[in-house]
Homo-oligomer: A and B are copies of this chain.
Amino acid sequence: MSNSLGEKFRITSFGESHGKCVGVVIDGCPSGLSLSEDDIQPELNRRRPGQSQITTKRQEEDQVEILSGVFNGYTTGAPICMLIWNKDVDSTKYELFRDVPRPGHADFTARQKYGGFNDYRGGGRFSGRITASFVMAGAVARKLLRDVLNVDITAHTIEIGGIKAKKIEDISLIKKNVEKTPIRTADLETAEKMIELVIQAENEGDSIGGIIECIVTNVPIGLGEPIFSSLESDISKAIFSIPAVKGIEFGAGFRVSRMKGSENNDKFTFKNGQILTKTNNAGGILGGISTGMPITFRIAIKPTASITKKQESVSISEKKETELQIEGRHDPCIVPRAVPVVESMTAMVLADHAIRYNVIPPVIRRMTS
């Protein structure tokens, strides 16, 4: 397993879905950042199950506890360990899936890889619940980026089960609208249709997927360490750590395959003495390095693998095909809960690069007395 990410702002995730806790250690957070549980809890609440009618009915408190690295309200430079304790756990039904792996889940591959010793309860280490550790670390990264550089990160739902949100150019409007609807789209009209589709899928014992867009503004020029730590490389690596992501595209993305060079190349211009580009097909990144324009990317989220419809699978011990039915409380559409996770991964990558390139220094302020 490889449970650490980042080079200078480096996180190590631990914990299992139905174990004692889910946690994370951040190594490399600069000293002098004002930080408390209150900075982290709101982000966790946005990821929490049971937050609306279209998420799983499981109730998890997900109350963050900081165990180390913060003293008198500020980060000390020492590793920050944070965790949430697990509650409301029912593991009985998972034993079956050791022998009859759930389609679309890691039951089969994890069993093979770890010789049968993996904690299969609730998906164990492969549960979406592990992303709570990403959100805790991401909340710290976000605060660091905001306090030192005024960087802003916003993700929002732009497609659900084929229903596309209307394109909104005004980023401030996106920010304003996104938390107004549980589906987390900025297009409030279309939101209702998306929600209906989710409820319909749930009623059918099925699930649906969607597309999330992420926009980062106020990015300093020069982040990204080519050729192998380009911003695209490091963002995509981080994003694919989120279960259910199957694709990512930056800027114009897959559309570039149908564009001419003369259309796709973003023309340089001056605005208020600063060099900008007139369009942003590059998604704010040239040569793997931030241009100062907004970083934009979109990711594809698959429909939740856990559905209550009967499914075909195999019994490993009996070496034959069989049927499987998953009970319980699962999100019919994970997209809205994935939104804060996408923001968190993005924040971690950018904080890491900002420290690597030293636009965030190792000590962000000095104590005066």
Residues of A within 8 A of B (CB): 1-5, 7, 10, 12-16, 19-21, 23, 25, 27-28, 31-32, 67-69, 71, 74-81, 83, 101, 103-106, 108-110, 112-119, 121, 124-126, 130, 159-162, 201, 204, 206-211, 221-222, 224-230, 232-234, 236-238, 240-241, 243, 245-270, 273, 275, 277-278, 282-283, 286-291, 300-307, 309, 311-314, 316-317, 319-321, 357-358, 361-363, 365-367, 369
B362:A81 contact, CB within 8 angstroms: no
Contact indicator A14/B227 (Cβ below 8 Å): no
* Given contact pairs A117-B74, A125-B78, A14 touches B257 in the complex (Cβ within 8 A): no
Inter-chain contact A262/B101, CB cutoff 8 Å = no
A211 — which chain B residues lie within 8 A by C-beta? 254, 257
In the complex, are the beta carbons of A268 and B206 less than 8 A apart?
Answer: no
Taking CB atoms, residues of chain B closer than 8 Å to A228 are: 2-5, 13, 237-238, 241
Measured between alpha carbons, how far is A2 from B27 in the docked complex, in Å? 7
- Nearest CB of chain B from residue A227's CB, rounded to whole Å: 5
Contact B237–A234 (Cβ < 8 Å): yes
Identify A249's interface contact among B114, B222, B247, CB under 8 A. B247
A selection of 17 A-B contacts at a CB cut-off of 8 Å is A14-B79, A14-B80, A20-B68, A21-B68, A103-B267, A104-B265, A115-B365, A125-B227, A161-B260, A201-B260, A206-B262, A236-B237, A240-B288, A248-B248, A249-B300, A269-B312, A358-B358
Is the pair B104, A261 in contact by a Cβ cutoff of 8 Å? yes
Task: From the candidates B79, B302, B304, B311, name the one contacting A1 in the complex (CB within 8 A).
Answer: B79
Given contacts A106-B288, A256-B303, 5 further A-B contacts (CB under 8 A): A2-B228, A16-B71, A101-B268, A108-B286, A206-B260
**Nearest residue in B to A310 (C-beta to C-beta)?**
B262
- Tell me how far the C-beta of A354 lies from the nearest C-beta in chain B, rounded to whole angstroms: 12
User: If A4-B4, A250-B247, A258-B209 touch, does A117 touch B77 (CB 8 Å cutoff)?
Assistant: yes
Contacts of A258 in B (CB 8 A): 161-162, 209
Chain B nearest Cβ from A270, distance in angstroms? 6
Contact B117 A367 (CB under 8 A): yes
Complex partner residue of A261 from B254, B288, B307, CB under 8 angstroms: B307
Q: How distant is the Cα of A313 from the Cα of B266 in the complex, in angstroms?
A: 9
Q: How far is the CA of A32 from the CA of B115 in the complex (A)?
A: 7
Do A268 and B2 have beta carbons less than 8 Å apart? no
Contact B12 A25 (CB under 8 A): yes
**How far does the Cβ of A103 sit from chain B's closest Cβ, in whole Å?**
4
A161 to B369, CA, bound (A): 40
Complex contact A1–B19 (CB within 8 A): no
In the complex, chain B residues whose CB is within 8 Å of the CB of A77: 1, 113-114, 117-118
Instruction: State how many angstroms separate the Cβ of A69 from the closest Cβ of chain B.
Output: 7
Q: Specify which chain B residues have a CB less than 8 angstroms from the CB of A67 in the assembled complex.
A: 14-15, 19-21, 23, 83
Residues of B within 8 A of A307 (CB): 261-262, 265
Report Cα–Cα, A365/B76, bound state, in Å. Answer: 31
Also in contact, A250 and B261, with CB within 8 A (given A3-B228, A23-B68, A27-B12): no
A69 and chain B: residue at smallest CB distance? B14
Chain B residues within 8 Å of A282, by CB: 104
B contact residues around A5 at 8 Å (CB)? 228
Complex: A44 Cα to B36 Cα, angstroms: 31
